[in-house]
Amino acid sequence: MEQITGIWSVLLRDYVKKVEFEIANIEKIRQKGVFMNTIETIRSRRSIRKYKAGVMIPKEDIKQILEAAMMAPSACNTRPWEFVVIENREKLDAIMAVHPYVSMLRTASMAIIVCAKPEVQHGICLEYFPQDCGAATQNILLAAAELGYGTCWCGVYPQEERIEAVRNIIGVESTPFAVVALGVADEAPAARGYYDENRVKWL
Ligand SMILES: Cc1cc2nc3c(=O)[nH]c(=O)nc-3n(C[C@H](O)[C@H](O)[C@H](O)COP(=O)(O)O)c2cc1C
């Protein structure tokens, strides 16, 4: 194998240090027991559009987040979804080139594309897939928040052009529903409360 020398070895060492630092940070947060309960997670979650660049997300965390997505409720338990995990920088750039509102992917560590499979609902419970995929997407946001990551849900479905463009990039037959950017937040938008009594009818 070729030796990595000179400036490349310095850059590689810095990169490895940075990744180790971020992973250690996440571990520290966990060891402090800063795990939130569901209501706290929902209250504090915000869309994150600026991430610490170059951080790699441990695979076990990605799997836990995907499991949360797959645990979402779905009409007749049809689970009309599949998920594409993108860590490849060129693919992330390609998504940025076809979707006008995903510039946060520049610094995000990765994206999860939630894709719908409406055909699995034929003859059972047609057309519920947007609700099901929405529930799966929200589970991704909440599971990631609890694990200490930031996310941003970016809509794809029902914009036909975006669906087609994202589908071509990720090479699936299913219907891209949402792009979820994911990474370690490099901004901390304040939690906000939206409880509005005018939106509630008590009977
Ligand atoms: C269906 C849907 C599509 C969205 N699309 C985008 C998007 O393309 N780009 C983006 O930056 N944010 C997108 N968002 C995030 C919203 O802008 C954000 O959730 C909203 O402003 C509320 O802010 P919060 O998530 O910080 O509470 C989307 C959210 C949803 C639910």
Tell the residue nearest (CA) to atom 19 of ligand 1. 47
Q: How far apart are CA 90 and CA 153, in angstroms?
A: 20
pLDDT of residue 3: 76
Give the pLDDT means over successive 10-residue stretches in the chain (203 positions): 77 81 68 71 96 96 98 98 98 98 98 98 95 98 97 98 98 98 98 92 97
Which atom of ligand 1 is least distant from the CA of 155?
Answer: 3
Q: How many whole angstroms from 15 Cα to the centroid of ligand 1?
A: 31
**Confidence at residue 179, expressed as pLDDT on a 0 to 100 scale:** 99
Q: For the whole prediction, is pTM greater than 0.95?
A: no
115 C-alpha vs ligand 1 centroid, how far in Å? 17
Q: Which of 44, 153, 163, 187 to mutate to test the pocket of ligand 1 (most atoms within 8 A of CB)?
A: 153
What pLDDT score does 28 carry?
60
Instruction: Give the CA distances from residue 71 to residues 66, 76, 104, 136, in Å, rounded to whole numbers and listed in that order.
Output: 9, 13, 27, 7
Q: Is the CB of 145 under 6 A from ligand 1?
A: no
pLDDT at residue 78 in the model: 98
CB of 52 closer than 6 A to ligand 1? no
Per-residue pLDDT at 13: 84
pLDDT of amino acid 53? 96
Counting every residue written for the chain, the total comes to 203
Query: What distance in Å separates the CA atoms of residue 171 and residue 99, rounded to the nearest whole number?
Result: 16
Q: Identify which of 82, 41, 29, 47 has the alpha carbon closest to the alpha carbon of residue 183.
A: 47
Alpha-carbon dihedral angle through residues 88, 82, 41, 99, given to the nearest 10 degrees: 50
Give the Å distance between the CA of 92 and the centre of ligand 1. 18
CA of 149 relative to ligand 1 center, distance in Å? 16
What is the phi/psi pair of residue 111, to 5°? -135, 145
Rounded (10°) angle between helices 89-98 and 160-170: 160
Determine the pLDDT at residue 36: 65
The reply to whether ligand 1 has any atom less than 6 angstroms from the CB of 152 is yes
Distance, CA of 168 to CA of 7 (rounded, Å): 37
